[in-house]
Amino acid sequence: MDKRIVPRNRYLEKLITFRDADVIKVVTGMRRCGKSTLLDMMRKHLEDNGVPSECLLTFKMESFELEGVRDWRELYRHVDGLMPAGKRCYLFFDELQEVDGWEKAINALRVDRDCDIYVTGSNAFLLSSEIATLISGRYVEIRMHPLTFSEYVDFLGPTDVTNRLAVFGREDIVALDDLLDRYLTFGGLPFLAASKLPEQEMKDYIWSTYQTIVGRDILAREARRGRRSVTSRSVLDRVTSYLADNISNPTSINKIVGTLAENGAKSSHGVVDTCVSALEETYVFSHARRFDIKGRDILKTGGKFYIEDLGLRAFLDGYRGSDSGRVLENAVYNRLVYDGYQVFTGHLRDAEIDFVAIGDGSDRKFIQVTESIDEEATRKRELRPFELRSLEKITGGYEKIIVVRRGSHPTDIDGIKIVSAVDFLMGRLGARSVWSASVSYA
């Protein structure tokens, strides 16, 4: 394997688990988060385990070679013509949303030929309810994300990692806290971590990633099955900047519309809602809904938006380094999602809790995130939701955690865990080691 390719074993193991199962393996996620490389890793795994190279067929739908294949019938004929007779084939399709009616071709290949199929896509529309029906519901979705901080450290290639230091060779020793600063600024796109580019080139790469998402995945998309298309680049950019500037703040479509109007950019509720939906569909942002802790119910209004990659946030924010506390909160959210939790913002009548993370069975965590608890006022503010009687009656033995970025602090305050951001983001708190993919059977 190319030394520049660092295995992302969590995702690769999931693909291996579903090898030869009668389901289409669909890898989804933001542009440049590593989906294509994951397919390359799976192909290499199959080759290493005795599958002949002529039975491993890769189709990169954005390549010049396949530029003319834009209809599902053409795709079917093209693929079918390359498959050797009488042998089981493994088919890899990269960015398949580029082909109209792709699901018909894939389903036909699954039915007609002896094959195992792997697909990637950078748009959630790839698995809309309508398309899921057309492929008979027989698929498994593996959602891929940019690097977590622990993966980011692995990609840098240290020879050793201690509790607080990363060691690179004999003389280069870097504090994990310093690496976290860099991660929170430039994010976790795998190419950046593996290539060690100078700072300006890193910014250029993030800029090009954003332009690709906007140009190829949002503005270029046609109206599909009654969905509205985004037609105004200026409105989209304003909405994107607003969401990036307001990560971890309570946000609504009405609030975005009002803010745009205040800044001389009037837009309708429908147009803004379409922009937000497009940004969610392309995995740039995700919406954490509010969870009524007392009523144990998901609230219909409110919630917060978090960005998938913090490098994009820094780019959209102009690299001002502002709002470090909210950036840290975003990183914690991303880690929880990576670990397989359903993540909500917590609501009590008398307080808000940053995160309610719901896992399997009784696995539930209540989490506050803060820069520091050195100041007494800050410490009281972060502890207050956990000390309310109403919460104590509800949560029982569930974990209560405060994640702290800087300063000195105890490890426990009246049963509330106090952990450093480095430890939490490195996955050192007994994070879930098993996570499930979303599987749909007919």
Query: Are 25 and 129 found together in one domain?
Result: yes
Mean pLDDT score across all residues of the chain = 88
Domain assignment present for residue 420? The answer is: yes
What pLDDT score was predicted for residue 304? Answer: 96
Rounded alpha-carbon distances, angstroms, from residue 84 to 24, 54, 94, 113, 307: 20, 7, 21, 10, 44
Lowest mean pLDDT among 223-237, 238-252, 335-349: 223-237
How many structural domains does the chain have? 3
Task: Label residue 442 by pLDDT band (50, 70, 90).
Answer: very low
Instruction: Please give the structure tokens belonging to residue 339.
Output: 């670990």
Q: Percent of the chain, pLDDT > 70?
A: 90
Residue 88 lies in a domain: yes
User: Is residue 434 in some structural domain?
Assistant: no
Tell whether 216 and 296 lie within a shared domain.
Answer: yes
Place of tokens 């900047």: 241
Q: Residue holding tokens 């100041």? A: 375
Q: Does residue 403 share a domain with residue 289?
A: yes
* pTM of the full structure: 0.92
pLDDT band at 2 (very low <50, low <70, confident <90, very high): very low
- Kindly give, in sequence order, each residue whose CB lies less than 8 Å from that of residue 61, ignoring residues fewer than 6 positions away: 69, 93, 94, 95, 96, 98, 99
Classify residue 343: in a domain, yes or no: yes
- Report the Cα 94 to chain-centroid distance in Å: 18
CATH number at residue 40: 3.40.50.300
For the segment 111-131, the average pLDDT, to the nearest whole number, is 83
Same domain, 272 and 418: yes
In a domain, 232, yes or no: yes
Identify whether 430 is part of a domain: no
Asked whether the predicted pLDDT for residue 132 surpasses 90, the reply is no
At 259, list the tokens.
């803010």
The residue from 144, 159, 182 where one domain ends is 144
Clarify whether residues 253 and 290 are in a common domain.
yes
Most confident range (mean pLDDT) of 125-139, 259-273, 421-435 is 259-273
Q: Is residue 441 part of a domain?
A: no
Does some domain include residue 139? yes
Print burial letters for 203-229: b (CB count within 10 Å at least 16), e (below 16). bebbeebbeebbebbbeebeeeeeeee
pLDDT tens digits, 278-289: 999 999 999 999
State the pLDDT at residue 86: 93
> Can you give the residue range of the structural domain that contains 189?
149-202
b/e code 3-39 from CB counts within 10 Å (16+ = b) = eebbebebbbebbeebeeeebbbbbbbbbbbbbbbbb
Do 111 and 174 have their domain in common?
Answer: no
Q: How many CB atoms lie within 10 A of CB 67?
A: 10
> Span 334-353, mean pLDDT?
91
